[in-house]
Amino acid sequence: MSYHRRNKRKPMAQINVVPYIDVMLVLLVIFMVTAPMMQTGVEIDLPNASAKPVDDEPTEQLVVSIDREGQFHIDADGPNAPPVADEIELANRVASMLQEHKNKQVYVRGDEAVDYGRVVLAMTAIQAAGATGIGLITEPPKGQQAR
């Protein structure tokens, strides 16, 4: 009589994925909470326009914002950066940013309360800086989704 029992089942090596799922769900909640806080820029009210969104959006873009008071802001500077002094400084700053990245697309975000002449002044300064394509950023009208 043998004292050793033979186990008919072989031990199976399995990975317990439950802790990984728990960590993934915690990270998902963290990203969902922090994602709205990551949007930076100057607080402006964009005019409403029903236009088709740009499909072939380049990976590198530069956004120039014009706030309610008509001051120019470059979004790459961050939300707490002081406004650009005038259109000459705007042209110089945009030109230096375009020298680093030649294929950068430039967009203008103008508050709906700002004078149209201020938006044209910004676009002229951006064009003088060497930008080949300038786009305008708007919001779709309330109740209408972008197509």
β partners of residue 145: none
* 88 closest CA partner among 111, 122, 42: 122
Q: What is the pLDDT of residues 75-85, one digit of tens each?
A: 877 777 888 88
Rounded Cα gap, residues 128 and 94, in angstroms? 9
H/E stretch holding 127 reads helix 116-128
Domains detected in the chain: 61-136 (3.30.420.270)
Q: What is the pLDDT of residues 90-138, one digit of tens each?
A: 899 888 888 887 778 889 988 888 888 888 889 888 888 888 788 888 7
Residue 6 is predicted with a pLDDT of: 61
Which residue bears the tokens 């009210």?
Answer: 45
| pTM listed for this prediction | 0.58
Residue 110, burial from CB neighbour count under 10 angstroms (0-12, 13-18, 19+): buried
